[in-house]
Each structure stands twice: as C-alpha cells, then as structure tokens.
With several copies, the nearest count.
Chain A
Amino acid sequence: MSTINKNAANVRATIVSNKRVGQYFQLIINIGELATVCKPGNFVAINVGGANSRMVLRRAFAISRVSTSAISGGTMELIVAPHGQGSKWLCSQVEGDELDVIVPLGTAFGIPTEPVHVLLVGGGYGSAPLFGLAELLNARGCRVDMLLGASTAAKIYAPMEGKRAVNSLRIYTEDGSMGHKGRVTDPIPEMIHDSNIAVIYSCGPMAMLSAIDSITRGSDVVHQCAVEESMACGIGICMTCVLPVEQEDGTVAMLRTCIDGPVMDGSVVQWEKVGKAL
C-alpha cells in the first residue's frame, strides 16, 4: 500500500537566495537536515500568500537540486515559473523570508543498477529535476543524453553547471529562438532506434509525457515520467491529484500522484483516459 514519503516533514524554511533566470526564478531554500533525504523526483508543497492570504492551498514544486554545505547547512533549489497568483507571490519573496514547506514529498526517479544508456527529456521548468538526476546517473556510470524543449528560448532552463553531468544536450524550441526548431519529442524515435537507450526519464507538460509514451509503447525502453496534476494538499488526503493507472490485475485505478507519483511508470498510466471518467 502506497504511503506518504516517510521523510516528509512540515518546516519553516528560510530563503537563501532568489534569482531571475530567463522566465523562471531560481530559489535556494534552507531546509537543514532534510536536504539529505530528498531524492531526484521528489517535490515540496509550500504555503503561499502570507498570513492574510485568500489562498488556502499549498503549491507543489519539484526539487531541482539539493546541496549540503558546512556553511549554509542543507539547501534545496526550486525553479519556479510565475504562473498564477501563488507562484507569483513565491517569486516575489526575497532572501531572508520564511516559507512554510512540507518536504520531501512523493516518489523519486528509479536509478538503474547497471550503467546503462539513458535519455532525459525535459519540457519548460520540467528540466529542473533532471540535472540533479543526471549527476546521480552519471556517477553510476550511465551514459546520459538530454533533450530540453520549450515554446521559446526564455523558457529553456539549462544551467551551465548542470550540463557537466550530461554527455549530450540538445535543445528544441517551438519558435526556433534557441537550438533546433521543433518539439522536444521529435528526435526521440530516431535516438531510440540508433542507440541502446534503456530508460527515458521525463518531466514536463502532460502532453509531452503522453507523446513519449506513444513512442516507447511496445518497445523495451522504460519510461519514468514525473507527472503534474492539480494538487490541493500534496500529502495524500484530498484525492484531487489522481491519474488513471493500470494495476497488476489489469484494472485501472485512480492513483494519487502526490503519493504514488509524481514519478510513475509511463507505460501503466492510461494517458488516453486522463481527464475522462473511468
């Protein structure tokens, strides 16, 4: 039976820095000891709006990277797109401000026991958790190729340091303003065909994840994707964040993506049933 991430704790955490990066904001947040139990794929749930806020729900963000230094203690990095009122509020917070955070939450990307060839595919801010993952995979001896895509250059998040752990990186923008013009999923069939990719790790819009699933479906390639459904609580108590997932017995169940996800096996998610009644 799936349960909440056993390391999850509700803490007050101080913002160490907040920098604008393209159309995103990079927040470094001090979470002390908890940084050591965060894994690539995990996410956090943050209260937004302050004391008199009309926003009653937490916002979910993927942990992009963690670092544990002697000086600042443990920190985590978030890459936040100023989307609606809550994420905009978060982006407007400054160094020294305190946040109410539940961390770490959800499942993590599974790491292969063998040094296989892997492909990491990120859409928009979905690339954030992939760099930390790349480091881990690289350290395990995997060959790590990466594809990043977005509608336009300013929405590509690809930090310099992050690229070190990657063997190849190709960027796609729909308007051609950076890298290749086209969709990030365009080169995947050829890459699968040409090389021996064992696992695709993906994070980004649901349409991208679903497109990757159509490509890998029927092949031997494992597809681990970090999904994104509207979440009211992030801790498994509201049942709003569900996706239709095929069970071992062949039935389809609505699983909570905050507990059984965000990282899920793409081949069991019933993409065509998302947003439909079962």
Chain B
Amino acid sequence: MSTLDFSTTLGNAWFPTPTFTASGCASSGRELAQFFDLASIGGVVTKSIMSKARSGRPTPRMAETPSGMLNSIGLQGPGLDAFLAKDIPYLVEQKARIIVSIAGETVEEYSTLARKLRAVSGISALEVNISCPNVENRGLVFACDPEASRRVIDGVRRTIGGELPIIAKLSPDVTDLVSIARGVVDAGADALALINTVLGMVINLDTMRPHLGGKTGGLSGPAIRPIAVRAVYQVHAAMPQVPILAMGGISNGRDALEMIAAGASGVSIGTASFGNPMAIIAVQDELKALLTAKGFNSLRQAIGYAHRPESE
C-alpha cells in the first residue's frame, strides 16, 4: 500500500497538508493551540489585520441560524504593529505555517499593509480579504466591484514583489464571480480564497428590530456549503490553473473532499471550529482516509476531479 502524498501548494507556497484555519475563526492561534499542535495542520490563516487598531461592531455580534450563523465582528483587531509584535512571533515559535490575512478601507491601505509585511519572515502567503467597505467609493465592498478588486490586488502585487504568494479572498455576493476572479488573477493574484460569508440578516422578534448590532451580518457554516461548492466549481472550470483555498461550511472530511473535487487545492475551516475546536484535525484525518480509500496516491490527483467527463 502506497502512502498518500497529502501536500499541497498555493502559488509557490508548499504545505504538508491542505487544511487551514479560516480567517477570523482562529483568533491569533493561541486559543486553538490548547486543543492541538498548530504545526500539525496545513497552516493558520490569521484574522484579517488592518493598519490601525479597530474595536469593531457593537454587540450582539452573532445570531445562530439553521445550520449556520451570522456574525458582524466588523474586523476588530489590534492593528498591524501590535500583530507583528505579538502574534507573528508566537506562531513562528509554534512552527505554524502562517498565512496573513489583510484588510483595508482604501486601495492604499492594502498596499501599506503589504509593504510592512514584505520583510517579515515566517509568512507563507498573504490572503487579501477584499470583502471590506471601500471608504473611497460610498462604502461599496471592494469584492463587489471588479475594478476596485483588481486595483487592490494590483497594488499589493506591485508592493510585495514576486516573493509572497497572494491569495485574493472573494465574496459570493456578486452576479458574476468568475469575472471578478479573472480580474484579480490578471492583476496578480496567485490563488483565490472562496468564499467569504454571504450577507444575511435576522430579525429579533422580541424587539422586532434587526438582531445584530451591525444590522446585517455574514452567513457562514454548513448552510452555505452548496454555495461555496458551486463557487469553487465555477471558478475552477474557468481557470483550472489557479489554485483555490476553499471555505464555507466545511465540517468533516466529506465536505472537504467535495471542495477538492470541485477544484480546491486546500480548505479552510471556520465556523465548524466554534462547535468543535478539533474540527480541523478531524477534517484532516477524515480527508486523508477518504482519499486513501478511494485509491488516490496524492491529494493532487483529486483536485478538480468532478470536472472530468463521466466516462473517465
């Protein structure tokens, strides 16, 4: 029996396993380290970091929904400097592979973040979260605007040079995901992260008002998995050469394999960790067992398998 090659790559970054935390769902990594060794997973994707400290949205920041949840955190975080001083050294010390997620309010802010991260060692890749309101354009979310998306990635690419792979994280709340994906790839993204949360709302029937402090929130969890699988499939069909880091409701190895077959090179686990801090480890073990049971010699062979004609 041959052993499975479980490794994967996103751009020029290599990872021993294809399982990652999802941005914003693992805080700084410390908390999950109580439950498993951070070096044992593919990597930690950090909470999206901005230039300055941010206190985020008012509470309540969550609502549970059928097989999912809404969150409206509003990118609370310590700002880049504190992040570089405290969180990165900790993760490096744990021998975790690190994907830093960045977020900005202007095209310039993204470039600034990239510039400061350029020289930081121990980082495997940058995930660029463009699901943020663009203050220069009436708060329209970057990821919903092909031109703004392109400009953000272009700015980051120019700043960062060819060193670090750029993973552009897209929102599913668009009419034509493939054209946005094409735009950011043309602008220099090495890989894509699909999908960010879906915009949703819950009304609190006691107050008869929107339940969340931020009114709307992002829907995540198993409820959105079929949307994520479709997004990965569509984008992989259009650009089979571009690696995809897939996320959206992945809770077990079967969910992960759906994403891999649809075209993902790696998977991020977010909401599932809230219900089960060991979810990533479970996904990793189950995915490995499934691939082996199906006779694959490597993860690579399974990537995009669902696109092959029925006859193969």
Contact = CB atoms under 8 A, between A and B. Distances in A.
A53 B73 CA distance: 25
Interface string B257-298: 000000000000001111111100000000000000000000
Main secondary structure of the interface of B (DSSP, over half): loop
Given A54-B222, A275-B213, A230 B66 contact: no
Contacts of B67: 54, 56
B32 A237 contact: yes
A242 B274 contact: no
Contacts of A235: 31-32, 34, 277
B59 A275 contact: yes
A100 B279 CA distance: 13
B56 A237 contact: no
A3 B86 CA distance: 13
Interface string B53-82: 001111111111011110101001000000
Contacts of A58: 274-275
Contacts, number: 113
Chain A facing B: main interface SS:
loop
Nearest to A257: B59
A8 B271 CA distance: 20
A207 interface: no
B25 interface: yes
Interface in B11-56: 24-27, 30-32, 34-35, 47, 55-56
A102 interface: yes
Contact of A238 (B30, B35, B55, B274): B274
A239 B76 contact: yes
Contact of B222 (A4, A10, A56, A241): A56
Nearest to A233: B274
Contacts of A244: 55
A153 B86 CA distance: 50
Given A10-B278, A56-B271, A277-B57, A237 B26 contact: yes
A274 B59 CA distance: 7
- Which of B71, B222, B272, B277 is packed against the most chain A CB atoms within 10 Å? B277
Contacts of A10: 35, 276-278
Contacts of A137: none
A11 to B, nearest CB: 12
B221 interface: yes
A253 B24 CA distance: 18
B55 A254 contact: yes
A213 B272 CA distance: 37
Contact of A277 (B32, B86, B213, B222): B213
A198 interface: no
A54 B223 CA distance: 9
Interface string B97-118: 0000000000000000000000
Given A230-B61, A237-B273, A277-B57, A242 B35 contact: no
Interface residues of B, number: 39
A4 B73 CA distance: 20
Interface string A114-151: 00000000000000000000000000000000000000
B56 A239 contact: yes
Given A232-B69, A238-B71, A259-B31, A56 B274 contact: yes
B30 A3 contact: yes
A236 B76 CA distance: 13
A239 B61 contact: yes
Given A10-B278, A235-B31, A277-B57, A54 B73 contact: no
Interface string A220-248: 00000000011111011111111110000
A242 B62 CA distance: 11
A170 B272 CA distance: 44
A239 B24 CA distance: 8
B56 A242 contact: yes
Contacts of B71: 232, 238, 240
Interface string B157-169: 0000000000000
B61 A233 contact: no
Nearest to A59: B64
A55 interface: yes
Contacts of A229: 59-60
A215 B272 CA distance: 42
Nearest to B222: A56
Interface of A: 1, 3-4, 6, 8, 10, 47, 54-58, 86, 100, 102, 229-233, 235-244, 252-254, 259, 274-278
Interface of B: 24-27, 30-32, 34-35, 47, 55-64, 66-69, 71, 73, 76, 86, 213, 221-222, 271-278
6 contacts: A4-B31, A57-B69, A231-B62, A239-B56, A239-B73, A275-B59
